[in-house]
Structure 1
Amino acid sequence: MSKHTLAQKLHRQIKRFRPNIIVTGTSVRTDVEQLAWTAARAAGVPSLALVDGWVKIPDRFLQKKRRSTRPTRYGVVDSGIKRVLVRTCKAAPSDVDIVGHPHLEKISADVGLARLQRKRAASLKVAFFSTPAEDIEADHGIEAIQALLPHLAAHAPLELLIKPHPREALDPWRQWLALFRVQQDGNCINAALVADKPTFDILVTADAVIGLPTSVLVEAAFAGIPVMVVSPEWWPSRNVVIDRYLSERIASNAQSIPLKLSELFKCIRADAPIHRDGSVKNATDRAVKAIQRLSVRHR
């Protein structure tokens, strides 16, 4: 659908339903939300944009100089992102509400609750979440697995579930897995590619989660699952939330992997700490109150 067609459709829908407020997310490098904010402003309807992340904040607001392509107010996850939004996108501080992260609150609570019903298997189940550094490449995920395997073997027998990123090429993973099964000495690590398995189901059953820098690790940690991050020093973009909440769980080079794995497996045998802070505490309620305040203000 072209921008013009989408803009017309948005104008028609607003005119038809006459909403009190329009609430959007803030996708990276897309103008769908910008069109919604513009249509809302033209119709005299207030809009609230929820910035539900810690990275690529300027990329969520493409038209930086045009007020008409901005929302009426913003809802952000914490005070740090409020400062980033004000500094890089020139948002007025008075227009920004700190609401937390409703999705992270919901997913971590749901996973944590579901895990109460799980039954531990005879062997440990470790999930590995990969992600490409730039495009669709699987090389970095495979390199990380290769670096982990010799040290994982010390904690065998275990089941290794490998979940590539949806954008990631699968053929390299299939080829690697076939070669791994041929070369494996014994049957101490049972590796499987679970590209089609829902992330939620993996988190519910995993004893531990390892991965390249990806938001799934944050969800796992907040749900109380032992987590380890393989974040090479050369990784092109830093994940602010991982650096903030999981800094002690990061293996930044091959030399640090044995220690971080040892710490990970100690956490499996003990009760893993559950992260709770302003990002998830009453986040849904705070977001709803921000919506209600803006709606009342413009009646």
Structure 2
Amino acid sequence: MSRILLAAHDRGGANLLLQVFYKVIDKQHDVRFYKAGPASNVESKNSFDITEKKEIVDKIFNDFHPNLVITGTSKYSNFEKLFWRRAGELDIPSIALVDAWINIKDRLIKKNTKILSQPTILGVIDSSTKDQVEKESWCKSKVLVTGQPHLESIMELSKKNSRKEKNNTCEILYVSEPIKEQGLTSDFRFDQYDILDILLKNIPNDRDYKIIIKPHPNELKLNWEKHKDLISNKNNFNIVISNQDIDNLILNANLIAGFASMSLIEAAILEKSVLSIQFGNNINPNPIFKKISNIKLVKDTKMLAPMLKILLDNSYRCSVDKEFMNYFTDSNKKIFDIIANEFDIL
């Protein structure tokens, strides 16, 4: 029996590791899952919520003596990096699984520094990403293709999903991102509040609408409460701020709108109507969007109203390219093979 330690700070990493836990390494192994930050909201067996401190991580290694460490990656935290550091000091192999196509180097840089912290193996979603990372001199980890187990589970869920039909009230889910908090407003020429304001101005006046705002874990909900008060006085929409699980919100919405969140990709896999709003932005912050036919990208405000009319029409049907789905097919098998072949653990 092997002792395998899992660790994640962000929801995306936790969802990915959850699939690895249950479908790859659960049987006949002692597995412990350590979480912090937004990942703490992802339920799992054998899980422990801890604080992001070096001494706590060191004690975990001293008590558990893992044979292998598998983590997510986080742009906003040093949590997973603490586990890579300690694993390296003890000659324990580590695998960091990247759950997205963007900001890969940023996920390995220690917060508020320029210092790179790297695991034994860096798992990326597809071969194109692998080739790109290997061309860049900064990556010293072995780069392997691991797919994306969480998106694979979403793909399985899409087979059971039934499209929500048009009714008297239409739900629009707005998935926010911390553009303002990251200081990117000048680069993109708008922030998450601007996007919503323009979206509301262009919604057709043909029925009742419920606008559900899903804040990003790295945003202050209070800021959204203040903005909601401002926009509620200017609109007749039923506007709510939700803390519900994003997957359930996506399933129940008629339209999912946002900037470049991974949640838009999840919604696309579920064959929902999806709108990425990137006004004035000449650099696509998530280039994978161009490969997904049912994510509609709007960069011109004049195109927003006609695009909304199309997406909110119940005759519109979404589909996902088979080539895109191949990126994360058999993800769990890929990870199983890597663990078995690289470390002879499973």
Partner Cα separation in structure 2 for residue 197 and residue 235 of structure 1: 33
Which residue of 81, 87, 101 maps to 2:129? Answer: 81
For the 8 Å contact 2:52–2:79, the answer to whether it is kept is no
**Partner Cα separation in structure 2 for residue 32 and residue 53 of structure 1:** 18
SS in 2 for 1:153: coil
**Mapped pair 1:148 → 2:199:** yes
**Aligned equivalent of 2:62, options 12, 21, 26:** 12
Distance 1:38 1:149 in 2: 46
Aligned CA distance change for structure 1 residues 52 and 174 (closer, same or farther; 3 Å): closer
Higher helix share: 1
Among residues 270, 292, 297, which one is paired with 1:223 in the alignment? 270
Report the alpha carbon displacement of residue 5 of structure 1 after superposing the two structures with TM.
Answer: 1.4
Give the counterpart of 1:36 among 78, 83, 87. Answer: 83
Residue 180 of structure 2, aligned match among 92, 111, 134: 134
Instruction: Identify the residue that residue 23 of structure 2 maps to in structure 1.
Output: none
RMSD of Structure 2 on Structure 1 (CA): 3.6
1:165 & 1:288 partners in 2: Cα distance? 31
1:287 aligns with 2:338: no
How many Å apart are 1:82 and its aligned residue? 0.9
Corresponding residue for residue 167 of structure 1: 218
Amino acid at match of 1:254: T
1:286 Cα offset (Å): 1.7
Distance 1:165 1:91, change over 3 A: closer
Further displaced range: 190-199 or 83-92: 83-92
2:250 aligned with 1:203: yes
Deviations 1:44-92 (A, max 9, x none): 432222122212111222379999x532222110122212321335446
Deviation at 1:181, TM superposition (A): 4.5
Deviation, structure 1 residue 202: 0.9
Distance between the aligned counterparts of 1:171 and 1:45, measured in 2?
42
For 2:290 and 2:330, locate their aligned partners in 1 and report how far apart those are by CA, in whole Å. Answer: 23
Maintained 8 Å contact 2:197/2:231: no
Per the alignment, residue 162 of structure 2 pairs with 116
Q: How has the CA–CA distance of structure 1 residues 6 and 106 changed in structure 2, closer, same or farther, with 3 Å as cutoff? A: same
Q: How far, CA to CA, are the matches of 1:180 and 1:91 in structure 2?
A: 45
CA distance in 1, matches of 2:259, 2:85: 37
| Cα distance in 2 between the residues matched to 1:145 and 1:227 | 15
Larger relative contact order, structure 1 or 2 (CA cutoff 8 Å, min sep 6): 1
| SS of equivalent residue, structure 2 residue 203 | helix
Q: Does 1:71 align with 2:119?
A: yes
Q: Aligned partners of 1:261 and 1:225: how far apart in 2? A: 13
List structure 1 runs of 4+ shifted beyond 6 angstroms: 63-67, 136-139
Unmatched segments (≥5 aa) in structure 1: none
Amino acid at match of 2:59: K
2:21 corresponds in structure 1 to none
In 2, the alpha carbon distance for the partners of 1:109 and 1:79 equals: 22
The AA in structure 1 aligned to 2:86 is A
Deviation (angstroms), 1:27: 1.8
C-alpha contact (below 8 Å) 2:232/2:239 kept by paired residues: no
Q: Distance in 2 between matches of 1:235 and 1:245?
A: 18
Quick one: distance in 1 between partners of 2:342 and 2:206? 54
Name the amino acid aligned to 2:172. Answer: V
Contact 1:160 1:192 in 2 (8 A): yes
Over the matched positions of the two proteins, sequence identity in percent amounts to: 20
Q: Work out the CA distance in 2 between the residues paired with 1:170 and 1:32.
A: 23
Once the two structures are TM-superposed, the CA of residue 100 in structure 1 deviates from its matched residue by 1.0
| Structure index of larger Rg | 1
